[in-house]
Homo-oligomer: A and B are copies of this chain.
Amino acid sequence: MANQPTVGAGGTPTPTVFFLSDSTGITAETLGNTLLTQFPAQRLERRTIPFITTVEQARDVVATIDRVAASGPRPLVFSTTVSPDVRAVLAQSAGHFFDLFGAHVSQLEQALGSSANGLPGQAHGVGDAVRYQSRMAAVEYAIEHDDGQSLRALERAELILIAPSRCGKTPTTMYLALQHGILAANFPLVEEDFDTMALPKPLRPFAEKCFGLTSQPIRLSQIRQERRPNSNYASLAQCTYELRNAEDMYRANNIPYVNSATMSVEEISATVLQRMQLHH
């Protein structure tokens, strides 16, 4: 079956996209997929082949691409491999070859007035060990401080995300920790917190670290229905009440906030980093 072309709903064979890398494949996937979002109607099969570091491995990959090409539409090949020898082999496959790395490196050599070192991709290796360890420590911190579980060490936090339940605090915290090494805690706002417009007591010393999330009542109600169907917790009235009060609390305490209803964790994170000036 491996050589049978996948056929889309309309009966048209689906082209395969290969993401090729001498390292993890993350950069090839990231830029390749970004470019492909410009063609949303195009159905595609995706396949990542990481850790291609030798000419022999490159020849095997070319054979794989050529087999796919022989039995269906011409594949797309996005490559970030660094070695000129490996690239020269990969460029000979029957696919459309996109050299995402080579296209820019000579311009960069000119701009910096020095030569690329030619070593295989180091961007997603351990690299800077201090930075890497800070990311790993941030993941642990995020798990320990998820959902207000531990109020110990809130003073260590660089950021405290606050919001009613199910507005996106947990995955955003995890993303900021894992990708940016931000020591991020999160703290749930519950009905009792809205008796006054003051911040919940554990947060008061740390108001300047707080960032609020809000959502649309209908959207929040849908999400809560999945967790506890037909509960008061998931009712539109309850969601409306909590979100309105949370927004009032943010405004009363000058807490910056964003409506996360239609945003991804990546978009929420980019917004938080920008507004809180938190880039490392």
Contact = CB atoms under 8 A, between A and B. Distances in A.
B39 A108 contact: yes
Nearest to A44: B112
B270 A26 contact: yes
Contact of A101 (B25, B35, B136, B143): B35
B24 A267 contact: yes
Interface stretch (A85-93, A170-178, A240-248): A170-178
A263 B126 contact: yes
Given A27-B30, A30-B31, A49-B274, 15 more contacts: A24-B270, A26-B270, A30-B123, A34-B123, A38-B117, A39-B114, A40-B117, A46-B279, A48-B270, A48-B273, A51-B271, A96-B111, A100-B104, A103-B103, A136-B265
Interface of A: 15, 23-27, 30-31, 33-42, 46-51, 74, 76, 80, 82, 96, 98, 100-101, 103-105, 107-108, 111-112, 114, 116-119, 121-127, 132, 135-136, 139-140, 143, 146, 170-171, 174-175, 178, 262-267, 269-271, 273-274, 279
7 contacts: A15-B112, A24-B267, A24-B270, A34-B101, A39-B112, A40-B122, A103-B103
